[in-house]
Amino acid sequence: MTNTSRRRALKTLSLSAILLCTTAGLSAIAQERTSVKIGYVVSKTGPNAGGAGITTIPNYVLWAKEVKDAGGLELPGGKRLPIEVIEYDDRSSAEEVVRATERLATQDKVDFILAPWGTGFNLAVAPLFDRFGYPQLAVSAVTDKAPQFVKRWKKSFWMLGGGHDYTEALAGVLTKAKAAGTINGKVAMISVADGFGIDLVTAARPSFKKAGLEVTYDVTYPAGTTDFTPMINEAAKGGADTFVAFSYPPETFAITQQAQVAKFNPKVMYLGVGTGFPVYGKNNGPNAEGIMSLGGIDPKNEANAAYRKRHEEVTGKAPDLWGSVITYASLQMLQEAIKRKGLDREAVSKELSTGSFKTVLGDTKMEDNQLRTLWFGGQWQNGQFVAIAPVDRPGAAKPVLPKPAWQAK
């Protein structure tokens, strides 16, 4: 063997040794993994804390405890790893939810990120989830643009439907009530000026027009508004006996109280997020009766009842009657996708998009990255917020109209 050949052979051996050491090192790193990092950014303080504290945070807490009690997240082959949860408070700030989400991806290097609360905040972080390759299970986000968003952000999943789903359901209820002579077909409408309110009111205008309903009052108000008396008075002057507010929890509670003070008692009262909170029914008692909103549940659904029991035992509070069970179902889907595909976010995202899952909602499958089997309308009846639409879905209750008159406290 010549000196040149010997040098080439030694170089080849050296490179092989380096590759073997590198491969062994990577294998050792993979074997040394001791946990799965799960991160999320959510409104623990600020005006959004009420909604996040009912619909989102308790379900994240419940799920984390159940994973811990089971010995960790199950991976392909049956191995389990405990989860390490990293959470940040976005303080109800859109800028902070973006900063903290990027921190989870770039500094904390979490394996998966759970979605924030609210339509606007999910839209704000969607480009980040996409850029860093994380599946985004956007539960508390109502948007008619989901089909476009799925094309733009291929790992995004939209699980609460679009504004037109809810407004078409409401228009259907109102059309029947008008035909029966229960209401006069005039609608007064207000909406919060953010992603949620804009999506709903934009859908409501054509829905109501198509249904032959007359919108006599249509006003948008800024987030954080506390005094609705002027709007309530103007709505009453227009002669509408249907009042619709696409509102967030603080406003929903305020509108309910201020309508009673103003003695404004429309035959139909439809309010936004917060109406389906158990505390709404508790605080308003008989004055909650007949009030309608998005969502609702079938009280006879045994899987939902069992989930609600576990939720209350672990968190000390009852879940809401709309998005809570869907939030929990999204976590079950993520957990099962990890079990099937491991920690490869690309593979997990594909499984979420194409797979079928057993959840508290029953057999659950996405349609073009969207959840479509949903309750689009609910009403407080006999102390429960029951689903009333789609009307042809098993478990739907019949709407009760007109709403009872306010009772003096």
Give the pLDDT confidence score for residue 33 in this predicted structure: 83
**10 assigned to some structural domain:** no
Q: What is the pLDDT of residue 21?
A: 43
Provide the pairing of β-strand 377-381 with 362-365. unpaired
User: Do the domain assignments include residue 5?
Assistant: no
336/352 same-domain check: yes
82 found inside a domain = yes
For the chain, the domain total comes to 2
3-state helix, strand and coil shares in percent for the chain, rounded to the nearest 5: 50, 20, 35
201 and 149 housed in the same domain: no
* H or E, element range at 59: helix 57-69
The per-residue pLDDT for 8 is 53
Using CA atoms in the order 129, 103, 325, 67, what is the torsion angle rounded to 10 degrees?
Answer: 110
377/171 Cα distance (integer angstroms): 10
Residue 402, Cβ neighbours under 10 Å: how many? Answer: 16
Give yes or no: residues 124 and 224 share one domain.
no
Rg (CA), the chain: 25
Residue 380 and residue 260 share a domain? yes
CA–CA dist 93, 195 (Å, integer): 14
Which residue range is the domain that position 342 belongs to? 36-161+301-365
Any idea what the CATH number is for the domain that residue 66 is in? 3.40.50.2300
Same domain, 152 and 101: yes
Same domain, 126 and 225: no
Based on the fold, state whether residues 257 and 380 are members of the same structural domain: yes
CA distance 205 to 191: 12
Position 137 in a domain: yes
Residue 27 resides in a domain: no
Q: Are residues 196 and 207 in the same domain?
A: yes
Please check whether residues 157 and 292 belong to one and the same domain. no
Q: Is residue 400 part of a domain?
A: no
Q: Hey, what are 75's tokens?
A: 């991976």
Q: Write out the DSSP string of 190-219.
A: EEESSHHHHHHHHHHHHHHHHTT-EEEEEE
Q: Is residue 3 part of a domain?
A: no
What pLDDT does 283 receive?
Answer: 95
pTM listed for this prediction: 0.88
What does the pLDDT read at residue 47? 93
Q: What does the pLDDT read at residue 354?
A: 98
351 and 305 co-located in one domain: yes
Residue 401 and residue 321: Cα distance in Å, rounded?
Answer: 21
Asked if residue 1 belongs to a domain, the reply is no
As averages over each run of 10 residues, the pLDDT of the chain (409 residues) reads: 49 45 40 89 96 97 98 97 98 98 98 97 98 97 96 98 97 97 98 95 98 98 96 96 97 98 97 97 97 96 95 96 97 98 98 97 96 97 97 95 92
